[in-house]
A and B are shown apart, each in its own frame.
Chain A
């Protein structure tokens, strides 16, 4: 797949427009649906009860089975997709039937049931409108809740015309009516009906279906035999837990308070001849539920919200961003349900913005699971050397960066920026100009500085951890950091032995290398007495405050050290905000007029570290700025470190969305707290001819002091 599919989908204007419209409308509808509801508390309750259930999943399955059998249902536990397919085929055959009428069930897609049955002469009819559309088109769903979001009305009209043999105009109400009429006979003549379930209750053996169209009620009613195909992770202890799922699901999925139909089914109803078969699908779930590293993935209630907000899904759609299950959680579940070979490519597509985590109905650290899974897939050739040998060795790595300064010289344009790289790297620079690697990195500038004077009484000492990008590309940003912090009263030192925080290694699944880099930096940053460690790169902040601790949790020597370092590491804005109001006041001359800026929240600062107030306070109080917010201020800029090099086309498309939001504000300065965001956005603005300045908050504070 990869490149070709990605480009096809990027160039599919309808898909892009549909996904973009939805991405814009969804957060508004969602917020409205959750009005008056404590989402954080609700999803936390779901996470806790789901996890507790997963830890005793075999017991829940046994309890559900016993309860359901008591109601007269026949329960089949199927370990593999093959088992499930065979079992369902057997049920249909035992009824002498050859026509299965279905409502939506992702589990059926998961086991590719239609394919199996049709090969054996059984007709399958999908009656959910979206599922029917993709069945007619012979495709897979591109969203868990809106399977046909990638199809426009013209395509649907064409499919319906072909199917019904009558000319269908591309008019949505007409097409919906056509579906109603055409599928009616399917409901009335289907011999066996199939549904999924959104939740199953162990104490009563009942299942619940959350739907809008009304087809689920028909397929569970008109045929004498009803088969419900259910993933075992859908089982919860009782109605109490089920109600939480029901409360969250429609709101998070489509921004509806409740869907049109919420149906509870307990046992076969309607007397003689009526049968209810419940097919419980395992397909790796009980193993995954017992896997402490990844079990939280099964907390998922399949609301699809993680796809709804994902900036990459918005660009490429579900046929690229996922396998059968799509969106962030699709990336996580695919290796367990469908094998690691199916997951290798797609796991790399996540840019790490953590937007999905923010909305997840089950409080899953989706992004964290994606990163951890990368450790389990085959690594590209050469990557081991890159991280295992070169980056782990600080001198070698920094020497390579210095060499790059010389290698890039021929490609620099008059302004010093790089507009055109040689062929191999050309894709990357199409819509973006790149800043060159600096002739003198910040670490060398620091060597030339007079040594730090001894501390004044009560003066706090700060160690500055710059991060590679700022050190080698934006030395002046680092200087502004040091000088502005000094201006605020701190004493600042730069430990020369510091090296890369290891995030590129971690994101590429090289956990051992990442661990080594963490240790190296911990030693460097703890060896010198200081009150704080400060970073100006949110990814580094997140690395030190979260990842080091996690990576070294089992290390007898470093676990404690990592925690100690994390406790005193702050992002620039947090450290600067401690000095509000500044004394003495910062501005030397008379008070100048406020400058208007707009602010872009870096993903790793807002969602990686939970910081979004402090930068704004620092801008207002210390940089004398007025903030004009842009829409989607916390949406990813598309940089993602090496992501922008691996997937330049996607990265550029995400950037375009960002640029248009920035430009709409009409202000002259964009403030950021991340050198990566600066690199990406500044490059995009420059390539589009914009004169807007993009500055780190530290630079704007420093300017105020001049």
Chain B
């Protein structure tokens, strides 16, 4: 994925109130030292910090990412209602709007991403596309496939402007959305 698309994604996501954290290239594979979060340790300390002593729950993550959470105490998803931080994985990003595509077919995972105060999501920079329409082939495949499915395209934290049109963050869903951008992947 070219630089400008990733950069556009970063800008758009931040503009809509998400935080984007760069995770060094090859973090998953080789723990190579690049930029902000070069090691699993640093990553887990960021996640610890976000959890601020509260409980953490996580969705099923791709194997290479699962390894990074080794040092974290991750609680059972059935207690998601009390979780401060929910960690999950986005299958794609959209540069135009700073959005992420999250699979939520499992109701427990869905509940976790919707109930937690903060939501941290891994996103591979290589999976960022320019616009929503660029995802249409893969979305269609999913919608027309045999299985039932539930997915969300999430853009920034939960928000409302229902009182006097004043934009307020975090009404029912997460108050913070952190995107853990896996660069170069």
Stretch at the interface among B66-74, B84-92, B160-168: B160-168
Q: Are B159 and A221 in contact (CB under 8 A)?
A: no
B residues in contact with A179, CB < 8 Å: 171
A265 at the interface (CB under 8 A from B): yes
Binds B, one of A74-82, A207-215, A315-323, A458-466: A207-215
Are A260 and B154 touching (Cβ within 8 A)?
yes
- Asked if B170 is at the interface (CB within 8 A of a chain A CB), the reply is yes
Report chain A residues within 8 Å CB of B108: 270
CB within 8 Å of A: which B79-104 residues: 81, 96-97, 99, 104
Partner of B153, one of A147, A206, A262: A262
> Which of A25, A129, A214, A269 has the most chain B CB atoms inside 10 A of its CB?
A214
A179-B171, A217-B114 as given contacts; A147 in contact with B136, CB under 8 Å: no
A156 to B106, CA, bound (A): 36
Expressed in whole angstroms, the Cα–Cα distance for A243 and B143 within the complex equals: 13
Chain A residue nearest to B155 (CB atoms) is: A258
* Contact A270:B106 (CB < 8 A) given known A213-B158, A217-B173: yes
* Segment touching A, from B23-31, B40-48, B50-58, B144-152: B144-152
Among the 9-residue stretches A53-61, A168-176, A391-399, A506-514, the one with 4 or more Cβ atoms under 8 Å from chain B is A168-176
A2 is an interface residue with CB less than 8 A from chain B: no
Instruction: Say yes or no: B158 contacts A269, CB within 8 Å.
Output: no
B173 x A266 contact (CB < 8 A): no
**Which positions 202-236 of chain A face chain B at CB distance < 8 Å?**
203-204, 206, 212-215, 217-218, 220-222
Task: Point out the residue from B107, B144, B156, B165 that lies within 8 Å of A221, measured CB to CB.
Answer: B107
A258-B97, A260-B157 given as contacts; is B165 within 8 A of A214 (CB)? Answer: no
Complex Cα gap A188–B81 (Å): 8
Residue picked from B143, B155, B172, most chain A C-beta under 10 Å: B172
For residue B60, CB closer than 8 A to chain A, the reply is: no
- Residue A467 at the B interface, CB < 8 A? no
Cβ-defined contact, A176 with B164, below 8 A: no
B170 engages A264 (CB within 8 Å): no
In Å, the complex CA distance between A267 and B113 comes to 20
Asked if A543 is at the interface of the complex by the 8 Å CB criterion, the answer is: no
B85 CB → nearest A CB, Å? 16
B110 contacts chain A at the CB level, 8 A cutoff? yes
Q: For the complex, give the distance between the alpha carbons of A21 and B164 in Å.
A: 10
- Say if the beta carbon of B11 comes within 8 Å of chain A: no
- Bitwise, B119-159 to A at CB < 8 A (1) or not (0) is 00000000000001100100110011000111111111111
Q: A127, A149, A203, A206: which contacts B165 (Cβ < 8 A)?
A: A149
Interface 0/1 of A70-88, CB less than 8 Å to B: 0110000000000000000
Interface centre among B99, B133, B160 (most CB of A within 10 A): B160
> Which chain B residue shows the least CB distance to A238?
B140
Minimum C-beta distance from A198 to chain B (A)? 13
On whether A151 and B143 interact (CB within 8 A), knowing A266-B149, A267-B148, the answer reads no
Q: For A262, what are the chain B residues with a Cβ–Cβ distance below 8 Å?
A: 99, 152-155
Q: Any chain B CB within 8 A of the CB of A568?
A: no
Binary contact readout A252-293 vs B (1 if CB under 8 angstroms, 0 otherwise): 001001111111111111100010000000000000000000
Measured CB to CB, the nearest residue on chain B to A266 is: B149
Asked if B65 CB lies within 8 Å of chain A CBs, one says: no
How distant is the Cα of A214 from the Cα of B132 in the complex, in angstroms?
A: 20
Q: Are A263 and B152 neighbours in the complex by a CB distance under 8 Å?
A: yes
The answer, among B140, B162, B172, for a CB contact under 8 Å with A180, is B172
Q: What are the interface flags for A122-164 relative to B under an 8 Å C-beta threshold, 1 for contact and 0 otherwise? A: 0000011110010000000000001111011100100000000
Q: Which listed residue (B96, B105, B150) contacts A257, Cβ 8 A?
A: B96
Bound-complex Cα distance A128 to B162 (A) = 9
Nearest chain-A residue to B12 (Cβ)? A257
- Pick the contact of B156 from A247, A254, A260 — CB < 8 Å? A260
Chain A residues, Cβ within 8 Å of B157: 260
| Chain B residues with CB under 8 A of A268 | 148
User: Cβ of B180 < 8 Å from any Cβ of A?
Assistant: no
B172 near A218 with CB under 8 A, answer yes
Determine whether A405 belongs to the interface, using a CB cutoff of 8 Å to chain B: no
Q: Does A446 contact B (CB under 8 A)?
A: no
> Which residues of chain B come closer than 8 Å to A147, judged between CB atoms?
162
A249 contacts the other chain (CB 8 A): no
Q: Report yes or no: A243 in contact with B133, Cβ–Cβ below 8 A.
A: yes
Which A residues touch B168, using CB under 8 A? 172-173, 176
State whether the Cβ of B115 lies closer than 8 Å to any Cβ in chain A.
Answer: yes
A266-B171 contact, Cβ under 8 Å, with A247-B132, A261-B154: no
CB closest residue in chain A, given B111: A221
A317 to chain B, nearest CB (A): 14
Given A213-B159, A217-B110; A129-B171 close (CB under 8 Å): yes
Task: For the complex, give the distance between the alpha carbons of A201 and B104 in Å.
Answer: 19
Contact of B150 among A203, A254, A266 (CB under 8 A): A266
Question: In this complex, which of A72, A130, A172, A179 has the most chain B Cβ atoms within 10 angstroms of its Cβ?
Answer: A172
> Residue A520 at the B interface, CB < 8 A?
no
Residues of B within 8 A of A258 (CB): 97, 99, 132, 153, 155
Residues of B with C-beta under 8 A to A180:
170-172
Would A21 and B159 count as touching, CB distance under 8 A? no
Residues of B within 8 A of A259 (CB): 155
| B161: min CB distance to chain A, Å | 7
Minimum C-beta distance from A262 to chain B (A) = 4
Q: Which residues of B contact A254 (CB under 8 A)?
A: 161
With A214-B173, A217-B110, A239-B139 known as contacts, the answer to whether A269 contacts B165 (CB < 8 A) is no
CA separation between A176 and B171, bound complex, in Å? 6
Tell which of B16, B105, B164 has the most Cβ of chain A within 10 Å: B164
Measured between beta carbons, the chain B residues less than 8 angstroms from A493 are none
Q: Which of A636-650 contact B (CB under 8 A)?
A: none
What distance in Å separates the Cβ of A75 from its nearest Cβ neighbour in chain B?
A: 14
Chain A, 166-193, CB within 8 A of any chain B CB: 172-173, 175-177, 179-180, 183-184, 187-188
Residue of B at shortest CB range from A177? B170
A591 within 8 Å of B by Cβ? no
Task: Tell me, yes or no, whether A401 is within 8 Å of chain B by CB.
Answer: no
For the complex formed, measure the closest distance between the CB of A204 and the CB atoms of chain B, giving whole angstroms: 4
Contact check, B144 vs A203: say whether CB atoms are below 8 A apart: yes
CA gap between A257 and B173 in the complex, in Å: 19
Does chain B have a CB within 8 A of A240? yes
Q: What chain B residues lie within 8 Å of A265 (beta carbons)?
A: 149-150
Tell me the minimal C-beta distance from B112 to chain A in angstroms: 10
In angstroms, how far is the closest chain B Cβ from the Cβ of A182?
A: 11
* In the assembled complex, A418 has its CB within 8 A of some CB on chain B: no
| B174 touching A214, Cβ below 8 Å | yes
Q: Are B148 and A257 in contact (CB under 8 A)?
A: no
Cβ of B155: which chain A residues have Cβ within 8 Å of it?
Answer: 257-262
Known contacts being A172-B163, A260-B159, A260-B173, is A240 close to B136, with CB within 8 Å? Answer: yes
**Do A213 and B173 touch (CB < 8 A)?**
yes
For B149, the chain A residues whose CB sits under 8 A away are: 206, 264-267, 269
Q: Which of A496-550 contact B (CB under 8 A)?
A: none
A18 within 8 A of B: yes
Identify 11 new A-B residue pairs, CB closer than 8 A, beyond the known A217-B114, A220-B150, A262-B154. A18-B164, A18-B165, A130-B160, A151-B163, A180-B170, A212-B171, A239-B143, A254-B161, A260-B155, A263-B104, A269-B149
The 16 listed contacts between A and B (C-beta, < 8 Å) are: A18-B165, A128-B162, A129-B160, A129-B171, A172-B163, A180-B170, A213-B158, A213-B173, A221-B107, A221-B110, A257-B96, A260-B156, A261-B153, A264-B150, A265-B149, A266-B143
Binding site for B on A (CB under 8 A): 18, 21-22, 25, 71-72, 127-130, 133, 146-149, 151-153, 156, 172-173, 175-177, 179-180, 183-184, 187-188, 201, 203-204, 206, 212-215, 217-218, 220-222, 238-240, 243, 246-247, 254, 257-270, 274
